A and B are shown apart, each in its own frame.
Chain A
Amino acid sequence: MMKLNYFLYGLLWCISSSTNNISVINNDSIRLKTEQQNFTAGTTIVLTFSGSEDASIRLYCSNSYGTTLLNPKVTTNELQYILPAHISNKAGVVQWKLLNNASSLSGIVHIVPQEQPVSLETYVGPPSIEAGKTDYTMLVTIPTDTFDNPLPENTKVTLRRQFLSSEQQDTIKTSNLIAYQNMYAPIKSGRMLLATECLNLNSKEYTVEIMPAIATDFEIFSKRSHEYADGNQLTTFTTSILKDKYGNTVSDGTYVEFIIKNAHGNLLKTVGMTIDGVATAQMMHPDHEETWKIKAYVTGISESNTLSLTYKQVVKDFTVSFSKNNRNIEVGPLQSFMKQHIPDGLQVMLHISQNGNVVKSDLKESRNGFVNFELNPNVISNGKYVIHITAAGITKIFKEIQL
């Protein structure tokens, strides 16, 4: 409805007759002498009127950017209006009107851009695209003349591109002041170089990165110095070289998550990022007998096979000795698979309970194969307690301990 209204509005403002040509509705003798209507930007444009020497007659003049009034240069029976450079240099339509009372001379002058470009304003984006035949980048160029006017429609622009061993050349034409081209990504990753040329004017070099596409499924491997659950050594996980479906190695830094499921169904996670397609991650050995199932993911994109690893128990048994009214508990020596003291850091858990309620819990890590617990009389008053000690998956229970 609004559109229709607007259409009516347009109709009502009926268009005057003096449009495309210089109108001659003059009542007195002033006449336009200049016959030329089309000019090239940069040429001096003089509108000469014969039949008057009245210097007070101004010329209304308006182009794309603005409007102004011009004063004449008076010669014998002539008025000369020299369009200032900021009007005669800009392409587009210039409308003029002679502002004398009697006549209403008006008209337009077309200014076309110069043919020779001096600048190729070029925009390339996005600057990086994904290999394969779906993603593309776009090059837009605005060839302009020395006065910053975009060149005329259908000006030819040559677009050259180099990628790996291939070099290609296309011709595009300007339309609506610009010329543009969509460039689809090749299936190989790498760097594409672009350049444009318009009427022997060459642009600078533009680069577009062709990034590898997303990773496909891959394999994982593990490496460990021994198979014992010593809670100390690291198992290292690595992937095969991650590749996209075109065989390009994925970008460095691709985030790979390794999800480890233990015998109880709990999940452990470690991560790594790819370098040259290979991601590496590590996980400390468990401190008790365990079976791990490991699978790696590039989240939402691809996954690996499942690895299974078994760790053997190292601490077979340990001694617990009480002293100082049973308030000092010494656990150890904790011995590893070659009877060596287990490396520092094995966790030992202590629970003290009375009538089924846990009164106090403590967690300590081993040092030189031993752990000592001191039971503070301010915290645990005298009485009978049950004591649980857990280390390396083995739990020992001491009932009726008098403190």
Chain B
Amino acid sequence: MIKTDKNIMRGFLVLTYVFIISMLIFLVSSAFGYLNTGADRSHMLHTEVKKEQIYLPKMTWINDGNKGRKLDTQTLTQIENDYLNAWYIRHVAYKTNQTVGIDDYYTENARKNILEYVAQNEEQKITIHTTTLSHEPNIEFFSEDGQLVVLKDTNVIAYKQVYQNETFVTETTEIANYTVILLLEDGFWRIRHLVKDSVETLQNTTQTKKIASVNLQGINYYPQATPWDMYGDNFDLKSIQNDFEIIKKAGLNTIRIFIPYEDFGKANVQSSKLEKLQKVLDAAEEKQLKVIATLFDFYGDYRILDWTLTQRHAEMIVTTFKNHKALFAWDIKNEPNLDFKTRGKQNVIAWLESMISLVKSIDNKHLLTIGWSNMESAHLLQNTVDFVSFHYYDAPADFSQQYAQLKLKVTDKPIVLGEFGQSSYGGFWKPFVGSEKKQAAYFTEMLQILEAEDMSYLVWTLYDFEDIPSKVVGKRPWRTNPQKKFGIIDNKGNKKKAFECIAQ
């Protein structure tokens, strides 16, 4: 008994001791842990600088070896990152006339040159909006201790807009060669010397195709169930194939589809989206439908510093599908003139021009156009597109007059009516405005005019839709409800009166 009691007593004491000690260790370690926060050594070495992709000019490394130490891929990647950051930071500095981040990417002696510029431009209220579109760097020398790199950056294509007192002054595209010395300091590859060896101004002389006519009778296409979200989770190839069958049977030969910029993954285009687009194009090829692919749907940034991201996006898509047999033309952007007011005509036009050059450089086989929203803007950039296209939703009676005006401006390019149509909505929000009959009458009249003008056209659209995403026309019911009823087939799959007018 005594032995047992003793053992219980012992056990109790031991457990109490263990408990107290563990509490003490816990308290001391939490206090110690608290005092250690924020003193992580990795911060000092910049081993995990978090980075979002904001600047992706085309980098083509010329790997012909260098005179110094052999360069490994990891170091090369670090050099590329820091070198591009240096360019980006400098672009931002000249845009804002502030010097945030300059210290990180330029050595003490080199940064003086930038600070002097910023000071002068600040004083005279000059801002430079600029980006570089491509670099062809070549490492000339890497020192034995791994701290110094000399590189020649050739064919650096830079686009610049110069503003003074917030007024646009001039724009220019230049191609230049640089010699650069970078030093490894505090974990950053910093620019020590930057010498421009040569520079030339580039004139944009995009070669367009001379074509007499295009002969399109087509339709703008979204699936009934997933309008404006064609490549999402509810992607249904079966229904798309059925729709193409309907379109083909209606005697139409073309569809116009949309490739949303953000949905496809911006600069890093997702392969899953490309696969879906591939299936759509394959289905179109099966039915011998020509496809006009509209890039950059819902893109609206146009900032010069955003250009490189959009270029990587277009590059990926155009490269992937440039040999697809169903493809007929690239529509660079749907209704870009609607962004003139908010984003600046200067910016939008410059972006379009640069994008056309890029797309043409990758795919010189297919035609290229811009889907302007009205006839007033349709003549813009006509020298860079292969055919002109615009959209028309006004009264049929006014069409011929406006079109005559446009033809005076556009003399040597085919003109395509990229979108036209009328809503059959006549419900609560717009009583008695539209009906299926009126819609059919509209199409009859329009098609007569188009035949008289011998014009190619694409109807808006195949189906009535149940939901219109708010990003299309906003949330107001008097806008969304008419938008739902533009189809020539209603949302139950019944052909509306207009269908017979379109079908030949």
Chain A contacts to B: CB under 8 angstroms? 1-3, 5-6, 8-16, 18-19, 58, 60, 62-69, 71, 84-86, 90-93, 95, 97, 99, 106, 108, 123-126, 136-138, 140, 142, 148-150, 176-178, 180, 182
Contact = CB atoms under 8 A, between A and B. Distances in A.
Given A15-B200, A66-B128, 15 more contacts: A3-B60, A9-B358, A9-B361, A9-B362, A12-B207, A12-B357, A18-B201, A60-B162, A64-B194, A65-B194, A67-B130, A68-B126, A69-B169, A86-B113, A148-B109
Contacts, number: 173
7 contacts: A2-B319, A3-B60, A9-B358, A69-B169, A84-B116, A92-B195, A97-B172
B60 to A, nearest CB: 6
Interface stretch (B140-148, B293-301, B337-345): B140-148
A66 B127 CA distance: 11
Contact of B143 (A19, A65, A149, A180): A180
Interface stretch (B173-181, B423-431, B445-453): B173-181
Contacts of B319: 1-2, 5
B438 interface: no
B496 interface: no
Given A10-B155, A18-B201, A178-B150, A126 B94 contact: no
B160 interface: yes
B84 interface: no
A85 B120 CA distance: 11
Contacts of B260: none
A77 B116 CA distance: 31
Contact of A6 (B69, B134, B147, B198): B134
A95 B176 CA distance: 10
A293 B319 CA distance: 73
A13 B156 CA distance: 12
A14 B205 contact: yes
B128 A126 contact: no
The 9 closest A-B pairs by CB, nearest first: A125-B145, A9-B361, A138-B144, A66-B117, A86-B116, A64-B196, A65-B113, A92-B196, A13-B202
B364 A68 contact: no
Contact of A68 (B113, B121, B145): B121
Interface in B99-118: 109, 112-114, 116-118
A139 B149 CA distance: 13
Given A69-B164, A178-B150, A5 B361 contact: yes
Interface string B160-174: 101010000110111
A69 B124 contact: yes
Contact of B181 (A6, A18, A85, A177): A177
B209 interface: no
A14 B201 CA distance: 9
B204 interface: yes
B203 interface: yes
A93 B198 contact: yes
A91 to B, nearest CB: 6
B325 interface: no
A13 B173 contact: yes
Given A65-B114, A69-B124, A138 B173 contact: no
B89 to A, nearest CB: 13
Nearest to B118: A66
Nearest to A125: B145
A316 B200 CA distance: 101
B199 interface: yes
Contacts of B287: none
Nearest to A86: B116
A124 B144 CA distance: 9
Contacts of A58: 164, 169
Nearest to A64: B196
Contacts of B217: none
B60 A86 contact: no
B157 A13 contact: yes
A180 B202 contact: no
B483 to A, nearest CB: 39
Contacts of B195: 64, 91-92, 149-150, 177
B485 interface: no
Given A68-B121, A125-B144, A125-B145, A6 B202 contact: no
Contacts of A9: 134, 357-358, 361-362
Given A67-B94, A126-B144, A99 B114 contact: no
Interface of B: 58, 60, 67-69, 90, 94, 109, 112-114, 116-118, 120-121, 124, 126, 128, 130, 134, 140-141, 143-148, 150, 152, 155, 157, 160, 162, 164, 169-170, 172-176, 178-179, 181, 192-207, 319, 357-358, 360-362, 364
A66 B148 contact: no
A177 B148 CA distance: 12
A65 B196 CA distance: 8
Nearest to B143: A140
A5 B320 CA distance: 13
Nearest to A1: B319
Contacts of A64: 113, 178, 194-196
A6 B58 contact: yes
B170 A97 contact: yes
Residue of A2, A10, A13, A124 with most partner-chain B CB within 10 A: A13
A95 B177 CA distance: 13
A340 to B, nearest CB: 45
A142 B194 contact: no
A367 to B, nearest CB: 31
Interface centre among B118, B147, B179, B364 (most CB of A within 10 A): B179
B5 to A, nearest CB: 15
Contact of B205 (A12, A125, A136, A140): A12
Contacts of A86: 113, 116-117, 120
A148 B181 CA distance: 13
Nearest to B3: A378
Nearest to B151: A176
A16 B205 CA distance: 10
Contact of A125 (B143, B192, B202): B143
B197 A67 contact: no
B60 A6 contact: yes
A15 B120 contact: no
B178 A176 contact: no
Contacts of A69: 124, 126, 162, 164, 169
Contacts of A68: 117, 120-121, 124, 126, 128
A176 B150 contact: yes
Contacts of A150: 181, 193, 195
B196 A106 contact: no
B160 A67 contact: yes
A19 B162 CA distance: 21
A303 B130 CA distance: 66
A137 B145 CA distance: 8
B111 to A, nearest CB: 10
A140 B202 contact: no
A144 to B, nearest CB: 8
B200 A19 contact: yes
Nearest to A15: B200
B285 to A, nearest CB: 22
Contacts of B196: 63-64, 92-93
B170 A14 contact: no
A148 B176 CA distance: 21
Given A67-B128, A93-B197, A97-B170, A182 B144 contact: yes
Contact of A95 (B60, B128, B152, B174): B174
B361 A8 contact: yes
Contacts of B362: 5, 8-9
Contacts of A60: 162, 169-170, 172
Contacts of B173: 13
A150 B192 CA distance: 10
